[in-house]
Amino acid sequence: EVQLVESGGGLVQPGGSLRLSCAASGFPFNNHEMNWVRQAPGKGLEWVSYISKSDSARHYADSVKGRFTISRDNAKNSLFLQMNYLRAEDTAVYYCARGSFFGPTKYFDYWGQGTLVAVSS
């Protein structure tokens, strides 16, 4: 069974840092691209970041570029999001999502349950 379990969320002051983790199981982690998606309270979904299978490519939303860093450890089946210079508008539930593809078409076929990040003084 595919499982994605996020951790590392919590309350942090503006300007602070936090590192999120996503533990993957039930599938060959190094065969899948991975993503982070967030959802502010009462708001819609926002794609945050992407990392390729071998970490040869990373992409970020403009809203987090230069502040957030995605990474992965294929040996430990883990995905990470290092978040620096946090702002109030980064307050959200953060989901990790597995990327899959059929031909050229990509999609997020499995999601974790999310971890809440609250940025407030």
Is residue 116 a contact residue for another protein (CB under 8 A)?
Answer: no
The CB-of-113 to another protein minimum distance in angstroms stands at: 6
Other Cβ atoms within 10 Å of 90 Cβ, number: 22
Binding flags for another protein, 48-67, as an x/- string (CB under 8 A): --x--------xxxx-----
The one segment of 8-16, 19-27, 70-78, 106-114 that binds another protein by CB under 8 A? 106-114
**Token pair of 35 as six digits:** 């993503």
Q: Tell me, what DSSP letter sits at residue 21? A: E
First CA to last CA across the chain, in angstroms?
40
Nearest approach in angstroms of CB 121 to another protein is 27
Cα angle, residue 117 at apex, residues 115 and 121 outer, rounded to 5°:
160
47 near another protein, judged by CB under 8 A: yes
Q: Per the structure block, which two tokens stand in for 61? A: 């939303």
| Residues in contact with another protein by the rule CB under 8 A | 37, 44-47, 50, 59-62, 95, 102-109, 111-114
